[in-house]
Structure 1
Amino acid sequence: MNGSARLLVIAGAGVLLLAGVGAGVLLTPPERVTVPVLDAPNRPPVVQNVASVRRASELSDAFISIAETVTPAVVRIQAERTVPHPRTGWLPRGLHDFFGGLEQSDSMPLEIPEVGGGTGFIVSSDGYILTNNHVIEGATRIVVSLPDRRMFEAAVVGRDPTTDLAVIRIDARGLPAVFLGDSDEARVGEWVVAIGNPGFDDASTLDFTVTSGIISAKGRPLNIIGVGSETSSDGFRYAIEDFIQTDAVINPGNSGGPLVNLRGAVIGVNTAIATSTGYNQGYGFAIPSNLARRVMTDLIEKGQVERALLGVSIVDVSPEDAEVYGLPSIAGVLVEDFAGDSPARRAGLQRGDVIVEINGQPALRVGQLQRLVAGHAPGERVRLGIIRYGEKREVTVELMRAPVVAAPTPSEPRRTSQPMLGLEIADLDAELARQLGYPRAGGVVITDVAPASPADRKRIGIGHRVVSIDRTPVESAAQARRLLRAARTGQVVSLLLQYPDERTYIANVRVP
C-alpha cells in the first residue's frame, strides 16, 4: 500500500472512531447529558498570548499569498520519449488465448511513447517556461498543463545540460509569470516555499502541491549533473553545481518547479533530492535563480549558452592547502593547472594561487566561483582576488569562451504516429463475447491500448466494447477504423464505451 493509501485509511479510521463516540452519546440517558453551549462565550481563549498568535497568523498569511500568487504560473510538464514496442506481453493475463495472433499485428508501431515529466514555471506572459533539462531531455513530444486545466504542446527553445536547465515555449498570451529574485541575497534559515507536481498518472491529483521549509544550506555540490544524460561526458567538464539546500518537501515530479521566498520571488529551480528511498527525506536541492536567469536569457536570445571561462583547473582548498599557502581560513579555490590557451595564465595567475574573490564577491568554493564566472559573458574582464603563499594580490582576466556543449537532438523514431488514438480493435464475435463476459456478440471490442497513447491517458481499457464514435453507432471494426482515421489533429473524438456488464462510460480524447 502506498503512502497516499495509508493516509486515506488513517483518516477514514478517525471518522469511524468519531462516529462511534457520537453513537455512545445518543444512547446516554438525556438527564445525564451536559451541553455547555451557553457557557462557551464566557470561556477564556485557548491561547492566551494573542501577540504570538498574531505573528503566526501573519506568517500563515504570507504562505497563503505566495501560493495564490505563484501557483497560477506553475505548470505540469509531460514529456514523451520513444521506446521499443513490447511486441508480446501487452495483453492482460488470461486474454492471450483468444486474442492470439492480434499480438503480432503489422499495424502496431515499432516504437511507442513513454511518458515522464515534471514541473516548470512561466517566466514571461508570452509563454516561455523554465524547467530542468532532465525533465525534457530526449522528448519527442512535450505537453504542458496549466493550473486552469488548459493543455498546450510545447516547443524546445534551448537546453543546457551543464546546468540542467531548459526553456520551452507554449503558444499562449496573457499568462501569469513569476518574478525571479536574487539568490545571492538568500540566507540560510529563511523560510521558503516549493511548488510542484509530485507524481504522474494516478498521482496527478497531487498536482500543484505547495510545501514549506527553510533554506538549510547554500553552495552544495552533488556531482549529479550529467548522470544518465545523453550528452557527451566531455561536456560536463563545464558543469556548474552550487545548489541551494532546503527541507521543503520535494518529491519525484517536483523537478523544475520554483523555490520561492516569503516575498514571492523565485530564488531557485527545484532539481534533486538526496534520498535512500526515492522520496523526500528532508534534503532537497535547487539551482540558484541568478544562474538560472543567465542561462535562460542566453537560451531565449541565442538558443544556446555562451559560457565564459577562466581557463583553469581548480579544486576546493583543504586544511593542508590552507597551511601550505598561508590562508587566513580554510576557504578558497586552489589553481592546479591551466587550459592550453588560458587567459588566467596570460594575466599572471600561477599554479598554487588561491582565488578568494571575483569582482569583490567571495569565492569560497569551486561551485561558487563557477557560478560567479558564469554570470559574465565571454570577453568581459573580471578582477580576481588571490592569495599567493600568504600574500594578497589582484589579477584582471579577460574571460574566454567555453566550447558549446551541444544538446543532442532526439533521434527520429521509425514509426511513432499513433493512428486511431493508440487503439487496436476487432469485431466482437461469439467466442470473444463468451470469453469477455458479454451477453451477446456484435459490435467492436478493444484488443490493445498503446502505452502512453491518447486513449491510454484517458484510461480506456482492453476488452471494452465501442458503442459509438462521435455519436455514430459502430457496427464493425472496419467502420470504427474509418471513423477514427478520419479524425484530424487537434480534434476531440467522443467515444461511448461499454463494460461486459453493459455499464457504459464516455471518453473524450483529443487527437495529437
Structure 2
Amino acid sequence: MKKIFIIIISTLLFSSPVYAYNYNEPHNEVLQAQLETARSKTLHVVALTEKIFQGTTIVFGTGALLDGGYILTNEHVIAGSTSIVVNTYDKQRYDAELIASDYIKDLALLKINTDTKGFVLADESLLYVGMPIMSIGNPQGLAMWSYSEGTLLNLIQRCKWVTGESYNLMGDNQVLGGNSGGPLLNSKGELIGIVRGTAPDRSFSITLKDIKEFMTKSLP
C-alpha cells in the first residue's frame, strides 16, 4: 500500500531546507546556461488583498511563464486577492490579470503583457522515476532567487490536502517557503509540474495531466 502523505496547505509554504543553490554560486557551464534561461521564465508573484478596516494582506509566491504572457501558479497563492503583481528576475514589474483558478487542483492562470518566451510543457510519457529534476523560485528569507535539484521519486504519489485527495509528482529536491506555484523542470528545462507543497526531504508538484486539463478548460 502506498504511503499517504498528509500535507496541510497554509497561506504560505514553509520548509526546513537542507540546501538550495543561490544563482551567484559557481556552476558548470551547461547548468549555468539552464539557470539563466529558466530564471527569465520564472516570476515572483505578489498577491494583495485590500479590506476596509483591515488593511492590506500580502502573499508571496512564484509563477511559471508560458507563451502568450500566461502564468501558472497555485490557487492558494492568489486566493481572495484584489490585485496581483508579478516581478521578473531582472526587476521588471507587471500587473497581472486573473484568467481562471481551480481550488481543487490548486492552480491559477494569470496573464501579463509580455512577448517573452515561456516554458515548454514536457512530454509526460517520457517522465520516469529516477530522472533528474530541478525547481526554481523566489523563496522567502533569501535575498537572491534559488535553484534546487533532485530526483523524481514517484509519478503518482497519493496526497491528502485540505482541498481533498490528489495524485502528485514527488521528488527529493528542496522546496523553500515562497516557491509555491513555481516550475518543476526536467534536465532540458521543460516544465513537468507546478510546485504545490513540501514535507521533510520531499517536494510535491501538480502533474502535467492536471495542468493540461486546467489549461484546456481555462483558455478560449
Q: TM-score when scaled to structure 2?
A: 0.82
Rounded to whole Å, the distance in 2 between the matches of 1:255 and 1:248 is 14
Whether contact under 8 Å (1:255, 1:272) holds in the other structure is: yes
* Residue type at the aligned position of 1:282: D
- Structure 2 equivalent of residue 180 of structure 1: 121
Match of 1:291 among 204, 210, 214: 210
User: Is 1:162 aligned to 2:81, yes or no?
Assistant: no
- Structure 2 equivalent of residue 194 of structure 1: 135
User: Displacement, 1:253?
Assistant: 0.6
Rounded to whole Å, the distance in 2 between the matches of 1:137 and 1:73 is 22
User: Is 1:300 aligned to 2:215, yes or no?
Assistant: no
More strand by share: 2
Taking every aligned residue pair, what percent have the same amino acid on both sides? 27
* Residue type at the aligned position of 1:68: E
Match of 1:219 among 128, 148, 156: 156
* Residue type at the aligned position of 2:211: A
Whether contact under 8 Å (1:130, 1:296) holds in the other structure is: no
- Structure 2 equivalent of residue 145 of structure 1: 87
- Structure 2 equivalent of residue 25 of structure 1: none
Report 1 or 2 for greater relative contact order, CA contacts < 8 Å, sequence distance ≥ 6.
2
User: Is 1:260 aligned to 2:185, yes or no?
Assistant: yes
- Structure 2 equivalent of residue 121 of structure 1: 64
- Structure 2 equivalent of residue 104 of structure 1: none
Whether contact under 8 Å (1:62, 1:262) holds in the other structure is: no
Whether contact under 8 Å (1:216, 1:245) holds in the other structure is: yes
SS at 1:179's partner residue?
coil
Whether contact under 8 Å (1:133, 1:161) holds in the other structure is: yes
Rounded to whole Å, the distance in 1 between the matches of 2:91 and 2:32 is 21
1:355-401 deviations in whole A, cap 9, x for unaligned? xxxxxxxxxxxxxxxxxxxxxxxxxxxxxxxxxxxxxxxxxxxxxxx
SS at 2:31's partner residue?
helix
User: Displacement, 1:186?
Assistant: 1.2
- Structure 2 equivalent of residue 251 of structure 1: 176
User: Is 1:78 aligned to 2:53, yes or no?
Assistant: no
Aligned-residue Cα RMSD (Å) equals 2.1
* Residue type at the aligned position of 1:147: Y
Whether contact under 8 Å (1:161, 1:225) holds in the other structure is: no
Rounded to whole Å, the distance in 1 between the matches of 2:142 and 2:45 is 11
Rounded to whole Å, the distance in 1 between the matches of 2:206 and 2:82 is 25
Rounded to whole Å, the distance in 2 between the matches of 1:177 and 1:225 is 30
Further displaced range: 217-226 or 253-262? 217-226
Rounded to whole Å, the distance in 1 between the matches of 2:55 and 2:77 is 19
User: Displacement, 1:204?
Assistant: 5.5
| Larger Rg computed on CA atoms | 1
* Residue type at the aligned position of 2:114: R
* Residue type at the aligned position of 2:105: T
User: Displacement, 1:182?
Assistant: 2.0
Count of aligned pairs between the two proteins: 196
SS at 2:218's partner residue?
helix
* Residue type at the aligned position of 1:120: G
